[in-house]
Structure 1
Amino acid sequence: MRKSTLLALAALAFFSASAAQADSVNLVKNGDFEQTTNGTSKQLSQNGDTSANRTQLTDWSTQGYNFVFGPNTADTTGSNGLTLWGPNSYNGRGPQNGLTNSPTGGNFVAADWDYFPAPITQQVSGLVAGQSYTLSFSYAAAQQVGFTGANPINYWDVSLGNQSQQTTVLSNASQGFTGWNQASMTFTANSSSELLSFMAKGGPTGAPPFMLLDGVSLVSAVPEPSTWGMLLGGLGLLGFMVRRRRHNAA
């Protein structure tokens, strides 16, 4: 392949990468839960509660028995004294269940689906009605220290506007941890602003269970018109270079 063709292919790759980057803007704010109003490893505030042992996740709302854990705290200091079963529970005498930080390594949310359950929500703006969006996030299931008993059904019920989907069901053993899983869902926007909701679900009984969540991202699932323009421009450049090479050869 001649140098001119290589240059054209490089240009096409550059245009494609630039287009993909332009379309990968995350419409969810604070999707990694790093921004809080009163620190981490605390129960999430309800109804504007500003007490010292409560905190809020910036841009998120909740009314349930939900918590935010900082890195390396889930099975050590915990969140308001609530800890999860893990290798560091009871000063290193906990079960070797593989409990780890989330894939992002930062804060993550924990929601009880059996005790005062309520969703974690955010109003997402910047949507285009009729356009598809890909929602992705990391999730897992764990159990509170001091309790035993398997939780065979654990999942997130996720909705955007009036559309709902469920994650794959996780089965968690007594004093267990399921490991982190990655979810990807496609939603079609009905308006420019819709409510994104995560509701922890499970059954048949809680002992007590927690669903974990982190790394929430919502991006366009199809290229914008500007992206198509970039791609077509790259293809046009490639065609021009190929024709030029043939002309020079002739």
Structure 2
Amino acid sequence: MKSMKSIALAMLSTLALGANAATNLVTNGSFEQTAQTNWNTYTSLPGWTGQPNVELRNNVSGTAQDGLNFVELDTNANSGITQTITATGLVELSFWYSARPGTSSSTNDLQVSFGNSFQTTVLQGVGNSTSTHNWQHFTQIVNLGNSGSAVLAFYARGASDSLGGSLDNISVTSVPEPETYAMLLAGLGVMGTIARRRKQKAA
């Protein structure tokens, strides 16, 4: 009986781990792998390729959502970043985006695309002060099919005036297939039935 309880606990732990401890498939999603004391423009960052470049900021003209660094996608003109993600099936895309503080909505459009199955434009709106970001969290379930990899891309689409929105804390995590949970729950049900029968025989 004790061994069955141990197995049940192990299966429940597996369910919890699958829901809460998924691995982030994005490299350098919070842009912390580059030492930065102010701000600078790069053609690439660890894991990311600039299109044609990207501006990395260390709590300048706003504060990072996660860690110290964040990126702005309007360097001298509208720009973007891309990264190829290795994954199949259902994944969850998560990122944080904010207007540059003190700017108008016309300069803060962000276009997001992921493979061939997802593309949208996020309009953040007006910055809420001269120094503070208004970070907003965006999530989307994306089906990557069986391709094996897909390009994740973020592009500035507002006024090309060197005053773009900010991006931080990007993640892509696999979403367990429903069949996985169904099999685990079915296994728990079978063990419960066996335990009841053993009790009945013992009585």
> If the TM-score is normalised by the length of the shorter chain, which range does it land in?
0.7 to 0.9
Match of 2:193 in 1: 239
Match of 1:88 in 2: none
Match of 2:84 in 1: 123
TM-score, length-normalised on structure 2? Answer: 0.77
Deviation at 1:150, TM superposition (A): 2.6
Match of 1:33 in 2: 31
Distance 2:184 2:41 in 1: 44
Q: Do the aligned residues in 2 keep the contact of 1:134 with 1:218 (CA within 8 Å)?
A: yes
Distance 2:67 2:119 in 1: 26
Q: Which has the higher strand share?
A: 2
Deviation at 1:12, TM superposition (A): 4.4
Q: Aligned to 2:95, which of 133, 137, 147?
A: 137
Match of 2:172 in 1: 218
Deviates more, 1:24-33 or 1:235-244: 235-244
Deviations 1:106-132 (A, max 9, x none): 32111118x42222001112x22xx12
Q: Aligned to 1:196, which of 135, 152, 158?
A: 152
Identity %: 28
Match of 1:57 in 2: 45
TM-score, length-normalised on structure 1? Answer: 0.65
Distance 2:107 2:195 in 1: 58
Deviation at 1:140, TM superposition (A): 0.9
**Gapped runs of 5+ residues in structure 2?**
none
Pair 1:43–1:29, CA change in 2 (3 A): same
Match of 2:140 in 1: 185
- Secondary structure of 1:120 counterpart: strand
Pair 1:239–1:66, CA change in 2 (3 A): same
Deviations 1:184-209 (A, max 9, x none): 0122114112111011222xx46653
User: Considering only aligned residues, what root-mean-square deviation do their CA atoms show, in Å?
Assistant: 3.3
The answer to whether residue 31 in structure 2 is matched with residue 68 in structure 1 is no
Q: Aligned residue pairs: how many? A: 199
The answer to whether residue 42 in structure 2 is matched with residue 45 in structure 1 is yes
Deviation at 1:168, TM superposition (A): 4.2
Match of 1:14 in 2: 13
